[in-house]
Structure 1
Amino acid sequence: MTDVLIVGAGPTGLVLACDLARRGAAVRIVDRSPAPPRTSRAKGPNPRSLEILDDLGVAEEVLAAGSAPLPMLKYRDRLPVAEADPWADSAPSPDAPYDRGWLIAQWRLEEILRDRLAGYGVRVEPGREVVGLAQGTGGDDGGRVDVAYADGPAGRARYVVGCDGAHSSVRKLLGIGFEGSTDEDQVMVCGDVDLAEGSLDRTRWHQWFDEDGAVMLCPIPGTRTGWWFQAGPERDGRGRPLAPTADGFRRLLARHTALPGRALTRAELLSTYRVNVRMADRFRVGRVLLAGDAAHVHAIAGGLGMNTGIQDAFNLGWKLGLVLAGHADARLLDTYEEERLPVAARTLDLASERLRATLEAIRRPGGGLEAAITSDTTGLGVGYRWSSLAAHHTDAPTGVAAGDRAPDAPCADAVTGAPTRLHRVLAGPRTTVLGFGTGSSAALRGAADTYGDAGVRTRRVYAAHEDRAGAEPGSVADDAGHVAAAYGTEASIRTGTGTVVVVRPDHHVGLVAPADDARSVGEYLRRLHGAGRSAERPSGTVDAVR
């Protein structure tokens, strides 16, 4: 029987499938489309999503296939009036090497993820529309979901995850409400277009904002003449928006820019976008869960749609993996909604707030889409301090807290001296126990003795002054002190008392505790991984991420 059936093969579904497949789960991923859509749609991953893609081993390919975000050139009455680079003052930091998002056509990102998934022996099954779901009554140990398709034989899975977009069939079959609003006055027409070569400078994102409309053109990376086209729609005599057409795009181009309409040589994948702000009232019903646009949709401002879905998938994948392996109780899945529903609600508010700021900005000559971009839209500040999985310790050092994103940091392998980054140490489908200071050695040994290879790795972090003779393979050398600074452990290292930090597989901190509190460390690990060596490790788990 299939362990997890994923419905929908966009970025959310593909990230979840990759994460589960590398854990050895039996995954199927189906999509109602007969072939992968060749559409650019979302403009690319934000910094937090880049960290996730790095963990999955595809970030380098994504960076090579795309481009850095471009400066924005703003026009009024066809004339350039201002230029803005929202990232001009941004730079990578030790704890966040990705300081900005990345431009890449969505079809290209999906192609990269499909190739990664195929490396695990799993391929997307196109033309498979789910039309029925029936959950078994065997309980969490014997339950299943029977799945009916529009065509072909029925299927069965232990869990089903709907990643099938705003019009989710899975959500509708579950009868889950999707409350919110649609603003019929906020309308935009979109499409992928070709412009005659040399028509516009491809090192800029061009934005024409006039009193009677707007046109935005951003070059699509990996193409010579391809552009993302967004504009206010043409309207009929009664002020109603007209459906997008290639000729309509040419008229909009001629009206607002200095380009002739004939410069637009191709227009496809045309659509009308309306501002929808909606969220499912539940993300889980028994053995069926929702992620991405199937669970929440919001204003386009800030580019948070695809990114929130990718981050949903990364939160859910490790929890499903541990439950399927028998290490964790199925109640662990309740923490998916506990953590991600409040994040989705905040994202709806943030995107709506950024949309209001953008609409206000473009009323002034020189204002543009940079108003949609803030530190909040990077995704790096999202955490789960309220979660039941955030074990707050009263004696934890000041610094990173349980629930926070685990900071990255440059470091080195303590045995070989090879330079690396902490997120590379954390990468892969495991919980990581980091030990700082000599006092952490006993806690690390206890975790290693209890769990061995059963989904938990232990890593000692050595400060510059500490003796590394006998360091275990994989131990971390923190000669510049970046790791200790990021985790607030300098004082405990100096005194030798030590600190232990448990990092979840999704790079969020679960526990920060004094090294002598082995009891708290053990209790936390037991909640996620059970009794340890008595629990069987799934035979197909893949540790390597490169």
Structure 2
Amino acid sequence: MISSEVTTESTAERTGVLIVGAGPTGLTLACELARRGTAVRIIEKSPEFHSGSRGKTLNPRSLEVFESLGVLPELLAHGRTDLLLRKYRDGEIVTDTDPFSVLEPTPWAPYVRGLFIAQWQVEEILRTRLAEWGVTVELGTELTGFEQTGKSVVATTAAGKRMAAEYLVACDGGRSTIRKSLPVTFDGRTEEGRMMILGDVEAEGLSRDHWHQWIDADGAILLCPLGERSFQLQALPERDELGQPVAPSLETFQRIFDRHSGMPGIRLANPTWISTFRVNERMADRYRVGRVLLAGDAAHVHSIAGGLGMNTGVQDAFNLGWKLAMVVAGTARPALLDTYEEERLPIAAWTLDTSGERWRSVQQSVKEAGRGTEDVIRPETLALGLGYRWSSLALELDGRGSEDAVGGGEGAGDERATDDGLLRAGDRAPDAPCLDADGAAIRLFDLFARPRFTLLGFGAGTAGVLRIIAAKYGDTVQPCLIADVPDGLSDHEGHARRAYGVTGDAVVLVRPDRHVALTAPADATGAVLDYLATLVI
């Protein structure tokens, strides 16, 4: 538990946001804040950066997030999207499976394959990007106490340093000491009997084009290539004569491998990380207590099935980042932060349900030779269909969803995994290829990468509302006219209109985190201004 010692604000070093924990969640949030000019510090109690592969898959929605942060090319260069899942039974190859083969990229969803990449590489790439904005991780800095005042949170470290921040964000993992010090429950269950052992090892002579999965009736071991030489090993543990799990080690790894692989010439070597995993399904009942917020594993933990852990934390950070930046800058009211919990708490509940269901599905499917972890890959685990239709920030003024929808048209279809195929406020904002005024190719995602709201105006009739919004909110909202007129973007193939469900003239406001905030007819200038007035001071 963190102590409740009283700190002195007047003697503390000041910042806008203090992030505790430098994993993918904390680093994503730090990048999102730093690129917006928010004063941010990020501290990590470990004296050195983590080196384990841990979470090893980025889903398509996280790839979109990282594209916005400008790190997608580096991630793609270090990861793999083309791994085949090779299943064995009794030492014999049964099947090679491409788990993403049934999914094709579309103009609306350019990324549909998961990226296999070690978590330490994701963190290293994010740290490099963060440093370009002038922020570095403060290693060996453990938070031991904090106190909320009327205008700040004053934190104390083990070394006695005091830091005052307008907001403190706990990204310090499932055992979060910050969460434990708050009036927050972390209800759920731990399946003590179900555990896996994990590690990063080398296996010379083993193909690096496959995720090898030996799954037999009496046990299993999986080896997934990550980085230049290592494999992430996952296995069911050995048991001693009393039926208790044997502590993982290189020796136990080798014995389990020899038992299932039928490859006596392969020797495992150079373990750089060894760990044990138990299935935990828990979530916090609150994400905000005053000026302290929870994100990532500090707010929710769950089964590894579906690879949703690291991804859900990254997407927590992306949701929270723009809201914190606006509040700290004084361009939004603090109440905007309440929508973080409003939007992300239901996503955590969905994640626990989905990952738990996928975990149980895999436990059954592996009993059949040739089936296994590909059962966790479903359209819902890509996270492209996740949105916030219930949010107080989602507003529809054009009647879409009703039979007399104004501007309603052909939806983008299954790419968004929506109920009726029609884009709704709160949904993920889809991509689309267009041409700029010079005839050069430009994507809507190129516009969304800028850290502002984007007001899409479909049709020349929206030029007026775009001009008015730009004049009043030009620092916060970028206008984009999609029409075949000078200075407009050409929707030359009609993909933008189809993706956004627009046939006539209409406006769509896209949030900085690439979700639809508002849909409205072209003449709804007053309503759009009213909406923005509730957000922007």
TM range (shorter): over 0.9
2:426 is aligned to 403
CA distance in 2, matches of 1:411, 1:248: 56
Pick one of 213, 220, 223 that aligns with 2:219.
Answer: 213
1:525 is aligned to 532
1:423 is aligned to 445
1:460 matched to 2:481: yes
Moved over 4 A (4+): none
Name structure 1 gaps, 5 residues minimum.
493-497, 531-546
Structural mapping, 1:104-183, within 5 Å = 104-136=117-149, 138=150, 143-183=151-191
2:346 is aligned to 342
1:412 is aligned to 435
1:12 is aligned to 25
1:90 is aligned to 103
2:76 is aligned to 63
2:233 is aligned to 229
CA distance in 2, matches of 1:115, 1:394: 44
Q: Which amino acid aligns with 1:250?
A: Q
CA distance in 2, matches of 1:180, 1:145: 29
Distance 1:245 1:134, change over 3 A: same
Once the two structures are TM-superposed, the CA of residue 524 in structure 1 deviates from its matched residue by 1.4
Pick one of 422, 439, 458 that aligns with 1:436.
Answer: 458
2:88 is aligned to 75
| Contact 2:435–2:491 (8 Å) recurs in 1 | yes
CA distance in 2, matches of 1:124, 1:185: 37
| Contact 1:74–1:209 (8 Å) recurs in 2 | yes
2:4 is aligned to none
| Contact 1:195–1:226 (8 Å) recurs in 2 | yes
Deviations 1:472-514 (A, max 9, x none): xxx4221111111101112x1xxxxx10100000000000000
CA distance in 2, matches of 1:244, 1:133: 37
1:46 matched to 2:69: no
Q: Secondary structure at the match of 1:174?
A: coil
Distance 1:249 1:261, change over 3 A: farther
1:293 is aligned to 297
1:187 is aligned to 195
2:5 is aligned to none
1:542 is aligned to none
What TM-score results when the alignment is normalised by the length of structure 2?
0.92
1:306 matched to 2:328: no
Once the two structures are TM-superposed, the CA of residue 89 in structure 1 deviates from its matched residue by 2.2
CA distance in 2, matches of 1:356, 1:458: 47
Q: Which amino acid aligns with 2:97?
A: A
CA distance in 2, matches of 1:484, 1:430: 22
| Contact 1:253–1:261 (8 Å) recurs in 2 | no
Name structure 2 gaps, 5 residues minimum.
1-13, 401-406, 409-421
Among the aligned pairs, what percent are the same residue? 53
1:244 matched to 2:248: yes
| Contact 2:462–2:523 (8 Å) recurs in 1 | yes
Pick one of 511, 519, 525 that aligns with 2:518.
Answer: 511
| Contact 2:20–2:44 (8 Å) recurs in 1 | yes
CA distance in 2, matches of 1:488, 1:8: 41
Aligned residues: 505
Over aligned residues, Cα RMSD in angstroms?
Answer: 1.2
Once the two structures are TM-superposed, the CA of residue 24 in structure 1 deviates from its matched residue by 0.8
CA distance in 2, matches of 1:246, 1:517: 66
Q: Which amino acid aligns with 2:508?
A: V
Q: Which amino acid aligns with 1:233?
A: P
Once the two structures are TM-superposed, the CA of residue 259 in structure 1 deviates from its matched residue by 2.2
Once the two structures are TM-superposed, the CA of residue 261 in structure 1 deviates from its matched residue by 7.8
Q: Which amino acid aligns with 1:169?
A: T
Pick one of 347, 353, 365 that aligns with 1:361.
Answer: 365
Once the two structures are TM-superposed, the CA of residue 394 in structure 1 deviates from its matched residue by 4.8
CA distance in 2, matches of 1:91, 1:438: 33
Once the two structures are TM-superposed, the CA of residue 236 in structure 1 deviates from its matched residue by 1.2
1:35 matched to 2:66: no
| Contact 1:56–1:428 (8 Å) recurs in 2 | no
CA distance in 2, matches of 1:128, 1:261: 45
CA distance in 2, matches of 1:385, 1:133: 35
Deviations 1:283-324 (A, max 9, x none): 000000000000000000000000000000000000011111
What TM-score results when the alignment is normalised by the length of structure 1?
0.91
Once the two structures are TM-superposed, the CA of residue 515 in structure 1 deviates from its matched residue by 0.8
| Contact 2:51–2:272 (8 Å) recurs in 1 | no
Once the two structures are TM-superposed, the CA of residue 114 in structure 1 deviates from its matched residue by 0.3
| Contact 1:33–1:128 (8 Å) recurs in 2 | yes
1:280 matched to 2:312: no
CA distance in 2, matches of 1:182, 1:69: 34
| Contact 1:246–1:268 (8 Å) recurs in 2 | no
CA distance in 1, matches of 2:350, 2:309: 13
CA distance in 2, matches of 1:171, 1:39: 24
| Contact 1:69–1:101 (8 Å) recurs in 2 | no
| Contact 1:3–1:27 (8 Å) recurs in 2 | yes
